[in-house]
Amino acid sequence: MIQIQIPEKVNIIIRTLAAAGYEAYAVGGCVRDAVLGREPADWDITTSASPMEVKALFKKTIDTGLQHGTVTILLGNEGFEVTTYRVDGEYEDFRHPREVRFTKSLLEDLKRRDFTINAMAYSQEEGLVDEFDGMGDLKRGIIRCVGDAQERFKEDALRMLRAIRFSAQLGFVLDEGTRAAIRKLCGNLKKVSAERIQAELVKLLTSPHPERIREAWETGITGVILPEFDVCMACMQRNPHHIYSVGEHTIHALEQIEADKILRLAILLHDFGKPEAKTTDSDGVDHFKRHPEVSERLAQGIMKRLRFDNETMRRVLRLVRYHDDHPAPKSASVRRAVNRIGEELFPSWMKIQRADILAQNPNMQEPKLLALEKVEELYGQIIREKDCVTLKQLAVSGRDLMAVGFPAGPKLGEILQYLLDLVLEEPERNEKGELIQAAVCRFGQEQEGKE
């Protein structure tokens, strides 16, 4: 019998339910992950008890989604979702079950789940319940729908993107029938909410295999949820710096950067403007002048469409906008770049640059990498020496300027910017007396009482 390590609190919940005469199992993703030796994100429990029956057995519970049968049980500071066995009724427009019906049969509950590897249940007493050979598919490394793939995707179109997401997280391949069903039904993804698509897309991108987005393209999924990506896949780059299409370059760059949401999103979107910015000169060489601006505009539209939050958007768009900047390998240029791109984002920006270079023509990489290393080194120095790179760090404030007679108003901002520019050039000048003198010297006629 297969043994799975279950956290003690999950065991307590299962045993409490069993002692009251109900069935209860750990189910779904946590069983899959435990078998694979991955740390489950959360432990979900499925039970024959109704939500009210569950609530009656535990002191602290939260009504997470009573209409779906879900109650969260709090043990200490941890929450566990307990969901009553259910069957999803008929589906409406490929996304919402018209109704949720509770059932007394574990098997019925497992049947409604998306993939065989996600449709296993486990308890210490009963062992593994694996009706659809999820174990076999885990061993073989296959993502396969429970039952008929087309039917499952017609019920909920998001499952098609989930199939690719799990293949990317686990390094699994799609079962052929499952893949064929995606090819046929991917158009239904149009009707799925942006929030659900966003969540799966981010999981795919931040997985160990972000290159599996290629599979989302091959099966037609990106054509529906991210058509701009398909345009990049079709955009050739006849240019000595490149050996890939824009889309393939993007995929290679995704593989060259760590699995961080902001970084992977920025890389995904960084060259989306290239197809629109592309020109071909008389020698047949392609150019992509000012493509970062176009990428930024397209990325903004896409991120709004997928309902990303403002903070994620702000960071990603900034990295996209500046991804192709090339500060000279001089201290002052790097300080100016840090000021422009933002202190907080600059380390990310350097990672973006490296990944971008590593996905370009290998014969042209060396000088680019050397220049980037110089920038990285200068950045290190700037940080160590605490050089001033923002208005906040300037030794003089608007208040200081007012104290020596400059009137309040927008002019103050201009003066501060002038002083910051001086200091970005020569950091040793970041000293109050010196800067006030510089301000008086340049803008003295603005001071009150001086005509």
Binding site for ligand ATP (CB under 6 A): 28-29, 41, 44, 113-114, 118-119, 156, 158-159
Residue placing its CB nearer to Mg ion in the complex, 33 or 356:
33
Q: Are 6 and 47 in contact (CB under 8 A)?
A: no
Query: Least distance to Mg ion from the beta carbon of 81, Å?
Result: 9
Query: Least distance to ligand ATP from the beta carbon of 65, Å?
Result: 13
Query: Least distance to ligand ATP from the beta carbon of 199, Å?
Result: 8
Residue placing its CB nearer to ligand ATP in the complex, 34 or 357:
34
209 touches, from ligand ATP, Mg ion, none (C-beta below 5 to 8 Å by class): none
Residue placing its CB nearer to Mg ion in the complex, 29 or 134:
29
Residue placing its CB nearer to Mg ion in the complex, 85 or 346:
85
228 touches, from Mg ion, ligand ATP, none (C-beta below 5 to 8 Å by class): none
Q: What values do phi and psi take at 122, rounded to 5?
A: -150, 135
441 touches, from Mg ion, ligand ATP, none (C-beta below 5 to 8 Å by class): none
Query: Least distance to ligand ATP from the beta carbon of 206, Å?
Result: 11
Nearest one of 241, 268, 234, 273 to 253, comparing CA atoms: 268
**Sign of the C-alpha dihedral, residues 204, 179, 303, 195?**
negative
Query: Least distance to Mg ion from the beta carbon of 336, Å?
Result: 45
Q: Which residue has the tokens 């189910």?
A: 27
Q: Exposure pattern of 98-112 as b/e (b: 16+ CB <10 Å)? A: eeeebeeebeebbbb
Residue placing its CB nearer to ligand ATP in the complex, 95 or 340:
95
Residue placing its CB nearer to ligand ATP in the complex, 135 or 404:
135
Q: What values do phi and psi take at 431, rounded to 5?
A: -145, 135
**CA-to-CA separations, 119 to 180, 270, 275, in angstroms, rounded:** 21, 38, 43
SS3 content of the chain, % helix, strand, coil (to 5): 55, 10, 30
Nearest one of 123, 130, 129, 131 to 24, comparing CA atoms: 123
CA geometry: angle at 110 spanning 108 and 116, to 5°? 140
Interacting residues toward Mg ion by CB under 5 A:
29
- DSSP assignment of 207-252 equals SS-GGGHHHHHHTTHHHHH-HHHHHHHT----STT-SS-HHHHHHH
Query: Least distance to ligand ATP from the beta carbon of 33, Å?
Result: 7
For residues 412 and 404, give the distance between their C-alpha atoms in angstroms, rounded to a whole number: 12
106 touches, from ligand ATP, Mg ion, none (C-beta below 5 to 8 Å by class): none
Residue placing its CB nearer to Mg ion in the complex, 27 or 182:
27
Residue placing its CB nearer to Mg ion in the complex, 29 or 427:
29
Supply the DSSP symbol for 175.
Answer: P
For residues 432 and 401, give the distance between their C-alpha atoms in angstroms, rounded to a whole number: 10
226 touches, from Mg ion, ligand ATP, none (C-beta below 5 to 8 Å by class): none
Query: Least distance to ligand ATP from the beta carbon of 264, Å?
Result: 16
113 touches, from Mg ion, ligand ATP, none (C-beta below 5 to 8 Å by class): ligand ATP
Query: Least distance to ligand ATP from the beta carbon of 267, Å?
Result: 22
6 touches, from Mg ion, ligand ATP, none (C-beta below 5 to 8 Å by class): none
- The residue of the chain with the least Cβ separation from ligand ATP equals 29
